[in-house]
Chain A
Amino acid sequence: MVRFIIRRLLVTIPTILVVITITWTLIKLAPGNFYSGEKRLPPAIEKNIREKYGLDKPWYQQYGKTMWAIIRHFDFGTSLRFEGQSVNTIIWRSLPVSAAVGILAYILALVIGIAVGSIAALKQNSRWDYASMALAMLGISVPNFVLGPILVLVFSLSLYWLPPSRWGGFPSRNLILPVITLSAIYMAYIARLTRAGMLEVLRSDYIRTARAKGLSEKDVLIRHALRGGLMPVVSYTGPALAFLLTGTVVVERIFALPGLGNYFIQASLNRDEPLIIGIVAFISITLLLMNMLVDIAYAFLDPRVRYQ
C-alpha cells in the first residue's frame, strides 16, 4: 500500500508540471492583458508596465522564470491584478471559504443522498421511490445558476428569512442558501447512484446468504448491502469532493463569496497570469490527491480490489 501511494505521488509531479505548462501557453495565446481597460493607455505607459512586470522579455525567459520559482520554492509569484498580493496568500486566504461551503455541501449531499437513495431502493416502485427519484431528476436537471436565484427570490427577497449573499464567516446563516444550491446536484446524483447500487447488491448472492444465515434485516442492510451498494458512490464522490473543496465558480459568483472559484474566474477574465497558474495548479493537485484517496478507499471497501 505504501509503495502504491509513493508511486502515485511520483506520477503526480510531472502531471502537475504539464498542466502548468499548458495553462501558461493558453494564457500567452489569449489576446489582451491584465492592465487594459475602457480607457486606453498611451504606448509609453504600456511599455513601462510591461517592463515593470517582465512581460517584455522573450517567452522562454518568462516561462523559465515562472517554472523555476514554482519548482524551487513552490512560489507562484505575485498577482498582476492585485499589486503586492502573493498568489500563495490569495489561495490560502480563499481556500477556507470554498472549503467551508464545499464540505458542508458534501456532507449534506452524502447524508441526504444516501438516505433517499437507500429508501428508494428498499421501497422500489413505491410512491417513495417515484417521488424521490423525480426530485433527484429535478436536482440533476435544474442548474445551480437557476436554483440559486430562485432560492434567493423566495427565502431572501420575499420572505426576508435569510441573507441573499455575501460571506458572513463560519458558521453563519449566510451559508445556508449557497450550501443547498451547491449540494443539490450532488445530492441528486448520489441518491440515484445509491439506489442503483443498492438494487444491484440486494439481488446478489451474498445478501441472500446473509439472510439465510439468519442475520437481522438491519445487519443485512447496514453491514452488507450498504457497503457494497455504495461502491459507485465512492468513485463519484472523490472527484466531487475535490471540485467542491476548490470552489465553484457559479455559486461563489451568485452569492458573492470570496472563495477560490470567484478568484479563478476573475483571474481568467483579468488575464492575471500568476494567479491563474497558481489556482490551476492547486486545483489539479487536489483533484489528483482525491482520486488517489478514492483508490485507497476502494481497497478498504472491496477486498477484491486489494488483492489485484
Chain B
Amino acid sequence: MARSNWKQLSALVLLLALACASWSCTVASSNELYFGKTDPPARNIFRYVTGDEPESLDPAISNGQPEARIYMALYEGLVEYDPKTVGPIPALATHWRPNNDASEFTFYLRHSGRWSNGDPIDANDFVYSFRRVVSPQVASRNAYMAYYIKYAQAYNEGAVFVRDQKTGNFLLAKDFEENVQEPLSSTPVDKTKGEYAPTAEDPNQPPDTATHESFHTPLRLTIPGDAKARTKLLNANAKLKAAVEGKELVPVKAEDIGVEAVDQYTLRICLTSPAPFFVGMLAHQAFRIVPRKVVEQYGAQWAQPEHIVTCGPFKVKTWRPYDKLVVERDPMYWDAANVKLDEIYFYPMSDNPTIMNLYKVGEIDAVLNHTVPNAWLHVVREKKDYMDAVEAGIDYLTINVTKPPMNDVRVRRAFNMSVDKQAWAAWRKIVKPLTAFTPEKIFPGYTQPTGDAFNPEEARKLLGEAGFPVTKNGDGSYSCPKFPKEVEFIYNTQESNKAMAEWMQAQWKQHLGITVTLRNMDWKTFLVARAKLDYNGFARSAWGADYMDPFTFLSLFYTGGDSGTGWQDPKYVALLDEANRSLDPHKRYELLAQAEAYMLKAQPVIPLDTSSVNWVKKPYVKGMYPNAGSLFAWKYVYIERDPAKWDLGTPSLAE
C-alpha cells in the first residue's frame, strides 16, 4: 500500500509539473506583441463571440446586448449606431427633422431599402413594426423604449380612453393633473408659423395630414383597462371617479399611437413630451423593423431560419443553436456594395476562459466585452490587441433605503464615504473610480456632479450622529458595537462578485469596524430579492446605457420600485421632467446634473466605477472600435491582410 501511495504521489507530481510547464509557456509568450495567434482567416469571414445563446432572432424578443449585436447584422432601423461615438447615423432614413420642441420627428426614408426577399421597404413597414413592438400580445421586453411615443405606453398597458357619449369628447389628462405643460405635439398645428424650423435643404414644413392633426390634440386621459386596477385608482381619486362615472371606456388601439406614414417614404413620430435624445434611441432593437407578411404568416415561428426575412447588411445562412449562427452578406441590402465581410460566424458562449482559449489559438477574431478574466489581466492587458476604453456603464451598490438602519441618510453616506474608490479602481486594474451616478467622460458637454469623497473620519462621525458610535481600539482598529448585525451584502454567485463583496466587507471592517454579512444566491433569485427589496443593506448592481444620454441612468429612479433601492422623490422627478422639457440642450444637461446631484445627496446607491469595455480583437480586424456601447455596425468591419496596416493598440475613438 505504501508503494502504491508513492506511485500515486509521483504521478500527481508529474501531472502538476506538466501543468506548470505549460503555464510557464503561456507566460513566456507574454513577450509577444499579441495574445496568441494572429493568422487572418482564409476567407473574408469574421468569427465572433457575442455572448450566450441568442433567445430569438426576432428583434422584439430580447433586450440583451449579445442579441443586440446580432440584430445589428440582420436588421436595420431608421438610424444605426455610429461605430465610434454610438450616436445615430443614417440607416434606412437618410435624414430627419425634429419639430421646434423635439416632441415630434419627421424621417425621410431612402427609396432603395429592400427586405432580404427583395420586397421594398417603405414607411408602412415602420408603422407596423413600431405598433407591433408595443402590442400587449407580442409582450416585447423592449416595449418600454417606445413609451415616449404618444399613447404607446397606454396601448402596451392595455389602458382605455374615457369618452363622453353625449358630446363625443374624450376626457383630457391636463384636467386631472397639475402643472401640465402641453408640448407642441399636443397643441393644434399652427398653419401660419409651422412647427419645424426651416433647414437649408428643406425650407418647407413637412406635409400636414388629418392623422397629424388628430395627433396634435391635447393628451387624452388614460386609465387602466383592467377592472380591478381601475377601481383601485378611481377609489383613491374622488374627482377622477366622478368624472369617469357613466362615461364610455374606449380601449387604446394600435392605430392610436403616434406613428404615421405621411407618404410612402416619409415617417412621422409624435411623442408624449419633448425628448431630444429620441433619435439616439432609434438604433435600439426595439425600433428595427420586421417583415409584416412573414410575421403574420408564421407567427412565433417567423424568425426560425427556414422562414426568416431580414433587412440588415447580412442575412441568416445557417443557425445551429448553442453551436453557431452564420450570417452572410445580403445582396438585397441597399448598401451591399460597401459591406466588406462575406460572412460572420456568431459563436454562442458564456464561459470566459473558454472564449479566451479559442481567441488565443486563433479560432475567433474578437470577443464580446467584459471577457478577459481578472486573473488574466496582468498578461493580456500588456498586449497590443487588448481594447482599453471606458464604457457607458457603471458598477454600483444599491441600498435598501426602506429598512433601518439604512433608512437613515447619515448611515448611507457613512458607508459610501468609507469605500476608497481609488483603491477599488486600482485593485480592479481597468475601471475608473466614480462618485457620481452617470459614467465619467461618456456624455460630451455634460458636467457631472461629484459625490462625497473618500473620508473615513467624517464617515465615523456621521455614524456616531446616527446613534452608532464608532470607537477606536487599542490596536488601531475600530469597532461599532451598536450597529445591527442584520445588515448584509447580497450578490449573485460569481467569482468576481464574491471578490467584490469581500473587498467591500474589508473596507467597512477597516474604516468603520462593522462586519457586513455576505449572502450569495443564484442570478434569478438575486434579481427577485433586489427588485422586491427583500434584503437589508447592500446589493451589487450594474447598469449599461440604453442610449447615449445621461437620462438612461437617471431614469432608473424616475419611477419607484424598479431601482432596487426603494428611493423615490417627487422633487427629483420634477427636476428630470423640467430638464426634458427644456429645448436648450445646455440647459437640459444642467438640470439633469442638478437632479443627479440631488439624488447623490440622498445616497440610495454607492457608486463605484465607470466600467471598462475589457475585450480583445485580433490586429487584422479593422473598422471595429471599442466604443462606449460595445455595439458594432458590422458593415464597416473588415479583415486587413497587410500586417503593416494592422492595429498596434486600442484604435482611437476620435473622429
Chain A residues near B (Cβ < 8 Å): 30-33, 35-45, 48-49, 51-52, 78, 81-85, 90, 93-94, 130-131, 133-135, 137-138, 142, 149-150, 152-154, 156-160, 163-167, 253-258, 262-263, 266, 269-271
Contact = CB atoms under 8 A, between A and B. Distances in A.
Given A41-B141, A153-B26, A157-B22, A134 B8 contact: yes
B528 interface: yes
Interface stretch (B233-241, B345-353, B447-455, B503-511): B345-353
A93 B321 contact: yes
A205 B269 CA distance: 92
B320 interface: yes
A40 B531 contact: yes
B322 interface: yes
Contacts of B25: 157-158
Nearest to A162: B361
Contacts of A134: 4, 7-8, 11
B368 to A, nearest CB: 14
Nearest to B524: A32
B361 A36 contact: no
Contact of B58 (A83, A93, A137, A258): A83
Contacts of B543: 38
Interface string B134-156: 00111111011001000001001
Nearest to B54: A82
Contacts of A82: 53, 55-56, 321
Given A83-B300, A84-B304, A31 B141 contact: no
B354 interface: yes
A166 B156 contact: no
B264 interface: no
Size category of the binding interface on chain B: 35 or more
A38 B542 contact: yes
Nearest to B528: A31
Nearest to B23: A153
Nearest to B304: A84
B63 interface: yes
Contact of A166 (B353, B358, B561): B358
B337 interface: no
B8 A166 contact: no
A240 B25 CA distance: 37
Contact of A40 (B19, B349, B360, B564): B564
Contacts of A269: 522-524
A40 to B, nearest CB: 4
Contact of A138 (B8, B136, B354): B8
Contacts of B357: 152, 156-157, 164-165
Contacts of B320: 93, 258
Contact of B55 (A39, A42, A52, A81): A81
B351 A158 contact: no
A166 B347 contact: yes
Given A153-B26, A158-B26, A164-B361, A262 B322 contact: yes
Given A45-B143, A138-B15, A84 B56 contact: yes
A31 B8 contact: no
Given A45-B141, A49-B141, A269-B523, A138 B56 contact: no
A137 B8 contact: yes
B321 A31 contact: no
Interface string B153-188: 100111000000000000000000000000000000
Contacts of B23: 153
A221 B183 CA distance: 94
B639 interface: no
A84 B303 contact: yes
Given A45-B140, A134-B11, A164-B361, 9 more contacts: A32-B523, A36-B524, A37-B63, A37-B141, A37-B527, A38-B542, A52-B139, A164-B354, A271-B524
Contacts of B4: 130, 133-134, 137
Given A52-B139, A153-B26, A42 B300 contact: no
Contact of A51 (B139, B304, B351): B139
B256 to A, nearest CB: 16
Nearest to B4: A130
B120 interface: no
Contact of B22 (A48, A84, A158, A163): A158
Nearest to B543: A38
B300 A36 contact: no
Contacts of A156: 357, 361
Contact of A36 (B8, B140, B147, B527): B527
Nearest to A41: B141
A52 B137 contact: yes
A253 B61 CA distance: 25
B302 to A, nearest CB: 8
Interface in B517-574: 522-525, 527-529, 531, 541-544, 546, 559, 561-562, 564
A33 B7 contact: no
B301 interface: yes
B361 A48 contact: no
Nearest to A129: B4
A131 B139 CA distance: 62
B243 interface: no
A154 B144 contact: no
B7 A131 contact: yes
B466 interface: no
B575 to A, nearest CB: 21
A258 B323 contact: yes
Contact of B351 (A39, A42, A78, A253): A253
Nearest to B9: A134
Contact of B525 (A31, A93, A164, A167): A31
Contacts of A42: 144, 147, 559, 562
Interface string B485-496: 000000000000
Contacts of B19: 150, 153-154
A156 B524 CA distance: 35
Contacts of B63: 37, 39
Contacts of A37: 63-64, 141, 527
Contact of A165 (B22, B136, B358, B542): B358
B3 A48 contact: no
Contact of A163 (B361, B527, B561, B564): B361
A187 B25 CA distance: 30
B322 to A, nearest CB: 3
A4 B381 CA distance: 65
B30 to A, nearest CB: 13
B542 A164 contact: no
A169 to B, nearest CB: 9
A280 B18 CA distance: 39
B363 interface: yes
Contacts of A30: 524-525
Nearest to B58: A83
Nearest to A80: B55
Interface string B301-328: 1111000000000000000111100000
A84 B523 contact: no
Interface in B26-65: 26, 37, 52-53, 55-56, 58, 61, 63-64
Nearest to A160: B361
A74 B461 CA distance: 67
A45 B18 contact: no
A90 B321 contact: yes
Contacts of A81: 55
Contact of A150 (B15, B26, B143, B156): B15
Given A81-B55, A166-B358, A32 B525 contact: yes
B542 to A, nearest CB: 6
Given A31-B524, A40-B562, A83 B156 contact: no
A42 B18 CA distance: 54
A191 B614 CA distance: 46
Contacts of B564: 40
A85 B542 CA distance: 31
7 contacts: A32-B528, A36-B527, A37-B141, A48-B136, A138-B12, A154-B18, A269-B524
A36 B525 CA distance: 10
